[in-house]
Amino acid sequence: MFETKAYLNSNDGSGILAFGEQSRCVLTVSDEIQKMQEYLDQNNSDFVFMCLSYDFKNRFYPLDSNNHDGLNFQDAIFWVPEYVVKIKREEITFLKGERNTESLEFLSVFFEEETDRNFHNYQIDFQPRIDFNTYIETVNKLKKHIQRGDIYEVNFCQEFFVEDCVLDFPLDAFFKMNEVTQAPFSAYVQFDEFSVFCGSPERFLKKEGDRLMTQPIKGTAPRGMNAEEDEINKEQLKNNPKERSENIMIVDLVRNDLSQVAAKASVKVDELCGIYTFETVHQMISTVSCELRENTSFIDILKATFPMGSMTGAPKKRAMELIEEYESFKRGLYSGSIGYLSPNGDFDLNVVIRTLLYNSEKKYLSCAVGSAITFESDPEKEFEECQTKIEKIFRALHA
Catalytic residue numbers read: 202, 218
Nearest to 227 by CA among 284, 177, 277, 285: 277
Specify burial of residue 338 (Cβ count, 10 A radius: 0-12, 13-18, 19+). Answer: buried
- Whether the Cβ atoms of residue 336 and residue 65 lie closer than 8 Å to each other: no
3-state SS string for the chain: CCCCEEEEECCCCEEEEEECCCEEEEECCCCCHHHHHHHHHHCCCCCEEEEECHHHHHHCCCCCCCCECCCCCCCEEEEECCEEEEEECCEEEEEECCCCHHHHHHHHHHHHHHHCCCCCCCCCCCEECCCHHHHHHHHHHHHHHHHHCCCCEEEEEEEEEECCCCCCCHHHHHHHHHHHHCCCEEEEEEECCEEEEEEECCEEEEEECCEEEEECEEEEEECCCCHHHHHHHHHHHHCCHHHHHHHHHHHHHHHHHHHCCECCCCCEEEEEEEEEECCCEEEEEEEEEEEECCCCCHHHHHHHHCCCHHHCEECHHHHHHHHHHHCCECCCCCCCEEEEECCCCCEEEECCCCEEEEECCCCEEEEEEEEEECCCCCHHHHHHHHHHHHHHHHHHHHC
- Which residues make Cβ contacts (< 8 Å) with residue 344, sequence separation at least 6? none
Distance CA 145, CA 110 (A): 49
For residue 190, what are the β-bridge partners?
A: 5, 195
Half-sphere exposure of 7 (CA within 13 A, CB side): 25
